[in-house]
Amino acid sequence: MTTSDKFHDECGVVAIYSHPEAETLAYLGLHALQHRGQESAGIVSSDGMSLHMHKAMGLVADIFTEKKLSRIRGTLAIGHTRYSTTGDSALLNAQPIMVQSNKGMIALAHNGNLTNAGEIRARMEAQGSIFQTSSDTEVIVHLIAQSREHTLPEAMADALRRVEGAFSLVMISPDRVFAARDPRGFRPLAMGRIPAQGDRLHDTIVFASETCAFDLIGAVYEREVKPGELVIVGPEGTSSRFYFSRPDSRVFGRPVQESREQLGRQLAIEAPVEADLVVPVPDSGVTAAMGFAAESGIPLRFGLIRNHYVGRTFIEPQQSVRDFGVKLKLNPVRSLLEGKRVVLIDDSIVRGTTSRKIVRMVRSAGAKEVHMRISCPPTISPCYYGVDTPRKKELIAANNTVEQIRQYIGADSLSYLSIEGLKKACRDGEKTSYCTACYTGKYPTNLVDVEEIQPAAVEE
């Protein structure tokens, strides 16, 4: 590949859902996106039962003849044209990448760069994963396959939360097409529609890196895939979800960063404390700690450093080391903490075991006092609407008073943000009303707690 002192577009992706000639539309879409990459191209289609792939080095028009397209006929398809940004220029790195995984057969095509791909890859290889390519894309495939989530949409969302960088991507399974964009929206991805006509009963949904691909296939532009959004198109229709609420994202029309900072400011108003340092528990407490420090005037210091290179598995020492798991992830900065009155800021206490270890760690680093402040109310009930929370009997705040929790975690003082303060900080009621069931136990829909169901009496 030649280099020049110019900016280049970096790869193009296209996806087609519900069309009798999906593979041909994908080919035409890639032809329109040829300027985004001239190294290789590939298409994976589905006939509803299995996936079929053809990819090669060269230009789109040379790779896909009528004969080649007839061999991969399907009603769903994704395509990719490659400009090499990471990975060698070779057929093995051509996309899409197709695999048979524990989540079924999938193929994925990706545009952009993952800044933490090398780190993830090294960790996975150390754990026994075998990579066939040197492309960033395969990292995402491995993350999906290794996810503990049971459904493919959840596994994909889980994988996307773990990668960092600039990307847009499309993925196909035998009966669905997925499209996603990075939380900052660096790489473009548009969504369009071909209205149903003739024998076609349903509209065709299409995605592409640029809308020029829509012009060639007769699609009407609808909207951009939003930053941090995962769109799923399947037999049940089109659904959308935001897989990550990063601080630089917007949720309910407001930046997440702003909401979290306001939580910290409100917490400082409701639960002031005389201290020398405000120390966030990374990463969940960082933004609220910034708000707490700004409101209270107490200096913010990063007295706990997070180790971002910890995988899911690790070798523990044969001789027990107290609080080993937390020490592996967090390292206290003794020079900052020693002799100081410290306010620890976090967003929640769930079971209390981790908070207890962190308080103990900060004391061991020489802190004179340790005060805990939580930027949300006590979590007293499980969430049944998509947030993974333990059962009620495992939630420490559901079974203990604030004073009992303080004694358990070993803090000199403990305060939570009030439910009223939470609503005020998040502007509840202005344009929307938030669910607070995990803090109040009052659910917006009728639910039956399976733990309260008693077995039917058996008559003898």
Express each pLDDT in 7-34 by its tens digit.
Answer: 344 689 999 999 999 999 999 999 988 8
- Taking Cα atoms as reference points, which of 195, 204, 189, 95 lies closest to residue 140? 95
Over 70: is that where the pLDDT of 183 sits? Answer: yes
Query: pLDDT value at position 133?
Result: 79
Which residues are part of the catalytic machinery? Answer: 11
Over 70: is that where the pLDDT of 2 sits? Answer: no
Q: What is the pLDDT of residues 122-175, one digit of tens each?
A: 888 888 888 887 777 888 988 998 888 888 999 999 899 888 887 899 999 999
Over 50: is that where the pLDDT of 453 sits? Answer: no
Contacts of 444 (CB under 8 A, 6+ apart): 435, 437
Residue of higher predicted confidence among 208 and 228:
208
Query: pLDDT value at position 429?
Result: 65
Q: Please state the pTM of the whole predicted model.
A: 0.55
Residue of higher predicted confidence among 448 and 290:
290
Query: pLDDT value at position 113?
Result: 79
Q: Which domains does the chain have, with CATH numbers?
A: 12-242 (3.60.20.10), 250-311+318-440 (3.40.50.2020)
CA distance 175 to 76: 8
Query: Quick one: 130 exposed, middle or buried, by C-beta within 10 A (0-12, 13-18, 19+)?
Result: exposed
Query: pLDDT value at position 132?
Result: 80
**Which range, of 14-23, 130-139, 195-204, 416-425, averages the lowest pLDDT?**
130-139
Which CA distances in Å does 149 have to 152, 159, 178? 8, 10, 16
Query: pLDDT value at position 379?
Result: 93
**Which range, of 312-316, 331-335, 392-396, 408-412, averages the lowest pLDDT?**
312-316
| Residue-wise burial string across 298-335, b where 16 or more C-beta atoms lie within 10 A, e elsewhere | bebbebbeeeeeeeeeeeeeeeeeebeebeebbebeee
Lay out the sheet containing 190-194: strands in order across: 51-57, 40-46, 76-82, 12-17, 204-208, 190-194, 220-224
Over 60: is that where the pLDDT of 282 sits? Answer: yes
Query: pLDDT value at position 458?
Result: 36
CA distance 216 to 32: 7
Strand partners, 44: 53, 78
Over 70: is that where the pLDDT of 306 sits? Answer: yes
Considering Cα of 161, then 166, then 168, then 173, what sign does the dihedral take?
Answer: negative
Query: pLDDT value at position 149?
Result: 86
